[in-house]
Amino acid sequence: MRLYQNQLWQQGTELYRIVHLQRMAVDYKKIDPDHPEGGTHLRATKKEFCRLIQGAKEVSGATDQD
C-alpha cells in the first residue's frame, strides 16, 4: 500500500484524509461525512495509521499522483 498526501480513505462511515506525510509519521484528519468542512487533526506513526485503515478503501479521485 502506498500512501500519498491528500489521500482519502473510508473505513465504514469514517473518513480519513492524509494531511502531511513524513518518513515515520502521518498527520491525518478524521472527517465527519455530515460536516466535511470540520474534522479533527491527529498524528500517528505510519504503522499505526496502516493498522487504522486496514480493510478501508481509498475514495477515488482523491489522489493527485505524478
pLDDT of residue 34: 80
Within 8 A by CB and 6+ apart from 29, the residues are 16, 17, 19, 39, 40, 41, 42
* pLDDT tens digits, 2-26: 899 999 999 998 999 999 999 999 9
Q: Per the domain annotation, does 65 fall within a domain?
A: no
Give the confidence band of 60 by pLDDT, cuts at 50, 70, 90.
Answer: confident
pTM reported for the whole predicted model: 0.81
Residue 26 placed within a domain:
yes
Domain count, the chain: 1
What domain range includes position 48?
8-58
Count CB atoms within 10 A of the CB of residue 22: 10
Kindly state whether residue 39 falls inside one of the protein's structural domains.
yes
What is the per-residue pLDDT across 23-54, written as a single tens digit (0 to 9) for each?
A: 999 999 999 878 777 889 999 999 999 999 99
Sequence-distant (6+) residues with CB within 8 A of 41 are 19, 27, 28, 29
What pLDDT, on the 0 to 100 scale, is given for residue 63?
A: 47
Torsion of Cα atoms, 46 then 6 then 65 then 11, to 10° = 70
